[in-house]
Each structure stands twice: as C-alpha cells, then as structure tokens.
Structure 1
Amino acid sequence: CGYLLTTPFSKWKGCGLMLCVVDCVPVSWSWLRIPGVLQRLGFTYFVLSLLQTFWVQKEIPLTAVSCSDVVLYWPQWLVIILLETLWLCLTFLMPVPNCPTGYLGAGGIGDNGLYPNCTGGAAGYIDRWMFGDNMYRFPTCKEMYHTTQPFDPEGVLGTINSIVMGFLGMQVSWTIFCSSILSKCTRDGGFIPVNKNLWSLSYVMCMGCFSFLLLAGIYLVTDMKGWWAGQPFIYPGMNSIFVYVGHSLLGFYFPFSWEMRFQESHWEWLFQSLWGTALWVLIAYLLYRKKFFLKI
C-alpha cells in the first residue's frame, strides 16, 4: 500500500483501470489514467474478433495460391486499409496548433528545441484533447528530452496501428519488405521512422514480421522437431497476467530491484533486469506446481 498511496496512479505505465479496485487506494478521476497496455490489448482483440466473426473463412480451398490470404480475406483487408488510411491522414495531415504538420518528434529539446510543446505530434495532441490529465504523465522522452507535455504510448492513434499489427499476424509475408522501404533500413530516418511510442506503421510492420519469424522458429523447434519443450518460459506464459500485474505493483521494490550504485552502468541495469525476470519465472514455476492460473 505504501507505493500505491505515495505514487500517482498515472505513473503506473502498464496498469489497467481495474487496478483501482484496491482497498488502500482512494479512487479519483482527477488522476486516473484512462489509456493503458491492458486496455489497448483488450480493444485490439475485440476489433480483430469482430473481423473474424463477420468475415471468417471456414474452409480454405486446397488449390489456394500464395496470395490467397489476401484474396480470401479481402473484406478484412479493406477494413484494415481504411484504418491505416485514417492513421496516415491524422498523423501527417492533421493541423496541430503551433506545431509543424506531420511532426513525429519528441518535442522538448529535441530538434534543437524548435518545437518544445509538440511532443508526439498529432498523436499527443489528440490524446491530450480527449483525456486531459487522465493519461500517462511520465513518458520515456521526459527525462531525455526534458519535455513538459504528457504523452501516452498507449494512446488513441497508436491503438489503430496495434489493430493493424494484430491483423498482420495472419498476413506477414510482405511486412518486412514494406517496413524496409518505409524506414529506408535506418534507425531514425526514412519516410516513416520506426517509433515504438507512436506505434508508427514501419514499427508495426517490422515487429509483426520478426514476431512471426520468431513464432515460426519456435513452432519448428518445439512442436515439429520436439527439440525443446519451452521451459522455463512456458511457466510465466501460463500466468502472464499475474506476472504482468505483479511486476507493475512490485517491480520497484527489493528483491526485484534496488537503488543502483552506478546509474550509468549498463551491466548493473542488465543484471538487475535479468535478476528480476528470473525471480518472476521462479514465482510462475511455483504457481504452476500449485496449479494456480490467473485468467481473464
């Protein structure tokens, strides 16, 4: 309760709305964060489930060609294209007061301090207009770029692309090619730079592709060849919600973390992260032995 009472709720980056239901936390709409990781996941799966419900293919012809995933699911593709067109128009054409149109930077001292109050461009502007103070007020760009504007990495525009990314789980054969073109194979450049906080189009295509390749590799190793059964990662995977919420509440406390002696030491940060992860894997394993599984 000490952490819950002394830390603003908006600083809980991954917490969902239901975490308010804690006896020691006085609920107040003035500091409640409305967007969030779990909210985004829930809405993304809801939209994708609607697409599958209304336009699912019960049988795939045996003579299907390589592009059949596009031809057979063209109504779903149409919805996804419309959603992505909406994201592109809002991101690059929507006028934002006192900011350049199509701005994708962090604001603050970024871009030589020319646009200090333009954090997140159109995405940040829409979220601040919709949610006001009820959003994430401690973005990753705050410390690095000294920004003063709140920015929520799980905001409205990014949720559109999270839906696109989820859909690309079934249509991934061409995503790496498109992401390479959009980013010009660079870290910060290209037509649409790879940006996780904005969930840019190049980011979702790049991550969708590599996620598929990783899944395909694990499927080959575990299911087809039987070389590996998935341990120890299978244990936190079977209690992912418990581990996620537990880390959100306890991740700042010993023994999961501690005050760094050398703040700039990458090795110390790496060791702390590996130690905390190992502890949660151990906890998940013990819960697995007890046959305790938290589901939604």
Structure 2
Amino acid sequence: MKQRIESVDLLRGITIAAMILVNTPGDWGSVYAPLLHAEWHGLTPTDLIFPFFLFIVGISIYYAYKYKSNTTGTYKKVAVRSLKLIGLGLFLNIFTPIPPFFEALDTVRISGVLQRIGIVFFITAWLYLNCNWKTLLGITFAILLGYWLFLGFVPLPNGTAPTFERAANNWSNFIDLKVFGKHMWQPDYDPEGLIGTIPAIATSLLGVLIGKFLDSEGLHKAIKLIGLGVLGIVLGYMWHLVFPLNKALWSSSFVLATAGYGTLILGIIYFIVDVKGWHFGAIFKYAGMNAITVYFLSSLISKIFYLIPVGENDNIHSWLYKTFFVHDFLPANFSSLSYAVVVVLCYLGLGLYLYKKKIFIKV
C-alpha cells in the first residue's frame, strides 16, 4: 500500500507543480498555447490539471477512509476538512494585501478552486462511506447521463432551447447568474460555478473506483490501468461529438476524457515505480504530501505580488519579471515560461523543506 500511495503522491505533486506553472506566467500576454485553457470547447494540457486533482482526491478518499466506519466522528472530520478548504478558498478571494485588506464584498467572487475541492470532497467521502462500489459506479453513470440530458434538452424557464455555448441560455451560466449574480469570475460565467460541481463529483468518484482497483490483488495491474485510461479517453471523445469537451461546463465528456488521461498517466507511473522499481521525481512526491498547503501559499503569494506596487508602474511580480527574465535575445513566451518554472522550483523546494522537517499540514 505504501508504494501505491507513493505513486499517487507523485502524480499529485506533478499536478500541483503543473497548476502553479500555468497560474504564474511572467506575462499573461506571452504564454505558449498548451499552457492556456481552451477558450470554451476543447481540451488543452492545462485543462487536465484541475480534474486530475479531483481525481486524485477520490483515490485519496478511498485509502483515507478504507477502514473507517460511517460514525459521527468520521462525518465530523470530513465536514471540518471540507469547511477548512472552503474557508481557505474564500479567504483567497476576499483578502488583499493593501488597505482595507479585503475585496469589495458586493462583488467579491464566491466560488473557486478550493471551494469546489471542499464540496466535492465532502460529498464524495459521504457517498464512499455509505455505498458499495457498484452503487458508486451507478451514481457516477447517473450524474454523467443526467447532466447531459439536463444541459442539452431541458428548456429554460423562458421556453428557449438550451445550448452548450457561452451564452445566457446555457443552463450552467443561467443558474450561476441567478445564484451568484455579481459574485462571479466573469460577468457571464464562472469556471468553478455551482452546477458544474455536480459532474466534478463524478470525477472524484471515478478516482475512488480507481483507488479500489489499485488496492485489489491481481497481475498486470499497470497494463489494466493503462487500458482503462485509454477506454475513458475514447469514450470521452466519442461523447464529445454530442456533448463537447468543456472545462467551464465540466461536461460529461470532459469527465470521462480527463479521468481517462489521469488513469493512463497513473498506470504509467505505477508501472515505472511499483512494477519496475525505477523511482524518480521524488521532489514532486514531497510537494504532493503537502499539496493543499503548497497550492494555497502559491495562490496567496501570487496575489500579494500582483497587488503590492513597486515604483510608479510596477508591482512585485512585474518588477521581478522585467528585472531578471526579460531580455532582448529571448522570445517573450520563453521569458514568461522561465519565470513560471522558477516559481515552480521555489515551491518544490518548499515541499522538500517541509518533508525534511517532517511537517505535514493536513487541511
């Protein structure tokens, strides 16, 4: 089990590093295309990162609660952890490093990455504690099918036909606007909106099921994981023909394809680390052991760097970027990426430091 969890920690650490990489370019106007999200429909490498994390949350839930019963104490721990995640996410949205030290409450964003993780964690853990694997599989299928039918075929209250486009008659955008109003990432939609959290639960449930598969006995497990991953990818792209791959909507095709990619990559790591014993990338594993802490600090410090001014025309972020990374002989995209890579290395170093000090902060 230790080796299996090590494989998951490695994938989690790689995912966190990738998340920081795409979130902290030197210049948002100079970014290589694979390091940007799809504008609406479609799937880029960057679009894989958040679903990978939720997928790993599901695997971790399987191992964390494998021997725990559905007692009041267990539910309390699940609820407390969920509330901590949601609270940290809200803090990131509200906090500002300059007076009055909080964003305007009438427009502050309510949803976010950590908020979605907290909600998905709570519901997935509750389902895992109360359902067998066959029921979990059925719930996952029902979520994916029901979400497609609802978004694609149920008319809106005004009688107009629904659409999957970025428009007011998109059910996801319609509900988010009604519930959140001005408290959204963009005026017309939020990538971590309310209704998209439902299929995100399916992503985590698929992680639970893969966790169970990892914990089972059997030969050629790595090959089977790779096969399951390929199957998920194929099914996701087939569904894409009628329900487009879309991160903002967290479409059912997106769930299958991204979980498929996650399973495929996990299978490859499992083969390298657990079957062949070729250990690599320990620096990522260390960051994975304090994943939420590393992600939270990277987001908080990035926000501080963007908001604290330096001189008349710069902030800490832009000053560091222009001073150390921008050179006439380097392409702008390369300079921007170099800044992001250095930031990632700093947080990987933090993960290594915490590991050596045996500090594991459980949120």
TM superposition score normalised by structure 2: 0.58
1:91 to 138, 141, 151: 151
Shift of 1:281: 0.9
Please tell me whether the aligned partners of residues 90 and 110 of structure 2 are also in contact (alpha carbons under 8 angstroms). Answer: yes
Please tell me whether the aligned partners of residues 148 and 251 of structure 2 are also in contact (alpha carbons under 8 angstroms). Answer: no
Aligned twin of 2:197? 159
Give the alignment of 1:51-90 within 5 angstroms. Answer: 51-56=127-132, 73-90=133-150
Structure 2 CA distance, aligned partners of 1:267 and 1:95? 47
Structure 1 CA distance, aligned partners of 2:206 and 2:271? 20
Aligned twin of 2:68? none
Instruction: Give 3-state SS (helix, strand or coil) of 1:102's partner.
Output: coil
Q: Select between 174-183 and 203-212 the one with higher mean Cα deviation.
A: 174-183
Aligned twin of 1:42? 118
From the superposition, tell whether residues 239 and 130 of structure 1 become closer, same or farther in structure 2 (CA, over 3 Å).
same
Structure 2 CA distance, aligned partners of 1:119 and 1:214? 37
Structure 2 CA distance, aligned partners of 1:222 and 1:251? 33
Unaligned runs of 5+ in 1: 1-13, 57-72, 107-117, 138-148, 184-189
TM superposition score normalised by structure 1: 0.69
1:196 to 225, 230, 247: 247
Aligned twin of 2:183? 134
From the superposition, tell whether residues 96 and 275 of structure 1 become closer, same or farther in structure 2 (CA, over 3 Å).
farther
* 1:227 equivalenced with 2:294 (yes/no): no
Structure 1 CA distance, aligned partners of 2:361 and 2:101? 22
1:17 to 86, 90, 95: 90
Instruction: Give 3-state SS (helix, strand or coil) of 2:321's partner.
Output: coil
Aligned twin of 2:292? 241
Structure 1 CA distance, aligned partners of 2:284 and 2:159? 45
Unaligned runs of 5+ in 2: 1-85, 211-224, 306-315
Q: Relative contact order (alpha carbons < 8 A, sep ≥ 6): 1 or 2 greater?
A: 2
* 1:289 equivalenced with 2:356 (yes/no): yes
Please tell me whether the aligned partners of residues 255 and 276 of structure 1 are also in contact (alpha carbons under 8 angstroms). Answer: no
Aligned twin of 1:269? 336
From the superposition, tell whether residues 231 and 159 of structure 1 become closer, same or farther in structure 2 (CA, over 3 Å).
same
Structure 1 CA distance, aligned partners of 2:109 and 2:342? 29
Relative to its length, the structure with more helix (as a share) is 2
1:32 to 108, 111, 120: 108
1:104 to 164, 177, 185: 164
Instruction: Give 3-state SS (helix, strand or coil) of 1:154's partner.
Output: coil
AA in 2 matched with 1:162: A
Q: How many residues align?
A: 239
Instruction: Give 3-state SS (helix, strand or coil) of 1:251's partner.
Output: helix
Please tell me whether the aligned partners of residues 36 and 154 of structure 1 are also in contact (alpha carbons under 8 angstroms). Answer: yes
1:263-282, Cα deviation, whole Å (9 max, x unpaired): x8332232222121111112
1:64-122, Cα deviation, whole Å (9 max, x unpaired): xxxxxxxxx3322332233233312331124358996332223xxxxxxxxxxx16822
Q: Select between 21-30 and 285-294 the one with higher mean Cα deviation.
A: 21-30
Structure 1 CA distance, aligned partners of 2:189 and 2:281? 37
Aligned twin of 2:220? none
Structure 1 CA distance, aligned partners of 2:120 and 2:90? 16
Please tell me whether the aligned partners of residues 160 and 169 of structure 2 are also in contact (alpha carbons under 8 angstroms). Answer: no
Structure 2 CA distance, aligned partners of 1:216 and 1:120? 40
* 1:181 equivalenced with 2:227 (yes/no): no
Please tell me whether the aligned partners of residues 232 and 261 of structure 2 are also in contact (alpha carbons under 8 angstroms). Answer: no
Please tell me whether the aligned partners of residues 148 and 243 of structure 2 are also in contact (alpha carbons under 8 angstroms). Answer: no
Aligned twin of 1:250? 301
Structure 2 CA distance, aligned partners of 1:151 and 1:86? 21
